[in-house]
Amino acid sequence: MSRIGNNPINIPEGVTVEIQPTHITVKGKLGELTQEYSDVDLKMEENTITVVRHSDNKTVKSKHGLYRSLIANMIEGVSNGFTKELELVGVGYRASNQGQKLDLALGFSHNILFDIAPEVKIETISEKGKNPIVKLTSHDKQLVGYVAAKIRSFRKPEPYKGKGVKFVGEQIRRKAGKSA
């Protein structure tokens, strides 16, 4: 029994939901998202959506909680949005953006130019004495997570000095250096 799948999803004010037999569309003030679904039914009663499964088959049980979480994230995204912040730790590491192009200086011989999807808003914050921060904002949680993971993959934090691109608030497991 999926405990997550049994929870009803509340629909806030200003969000409209359309349920078709194969997909669901959610519209809000920040945008519109569509998700296909299968093996489960969606029932809408006033301001709540419930995900109902027909059998106790293993694949159906797993999709029960999955689709409930995806739909809840869609509703949260079009009403409030999602934000990820990345911190560049290292001497000479810099970030700047011109529109949707992110320019990263991460200690390689050339700067990294990265095109960001148009659905994601990007902002770079550089203050003297502090590490540069890249702030990503969008209504699509999966897309924000993907873009943040891609930027982090350019220079993952290493365990000895802690240099690299990390999420704000992420704890890096540090190792001791060689013992002399």
CATH code: domain 3-79 is: 3.90.930.12
- Nearest Cα residue to 137 out of 149, 153, 123: 123
SS3 of 56, please? Answer: coil
Residue-wise over 83-110: b if at least 16 C-beta within 10 A, else e? ebbbbbbbeebebeeeeeebebbbeeee
Confidence check: pLDDT of 180 > 80? no
The whole-number pLDDT of residue 3 equals: 83
Cα 110–Cα 114–Cα 117 angle in degrees, nearest 5: 175
DSSP classification of residue 154: T
- Nearest Cα residue to 168 out of 112, 160, 151: 151
CATH top class, domain 82-167? alpha beta
Confidence check: pLDDT of 178 > 90? no
* Domain boundary assignment for the chain: 3-79, 82-167
Q: Of all residues in the chain, what percent carry a pLDDT higher than 90? A: 86
**Per-position DSSP letters for 68-125, written without gaps between them:** HHHHHHHHHHHHT-EEEEEEEESTT-EEEEETTEEEEE-SSSSPEEEEPPTTSEEEEE
| Beta bridge pairs of residue 152 | none
Fold equal for 3-79 and 82-167: yes
Report strand pairing: 23-27 vs 112-115.
unpaired
pLDDT in tens, 45-64: 989 999 999 888 898 988 99
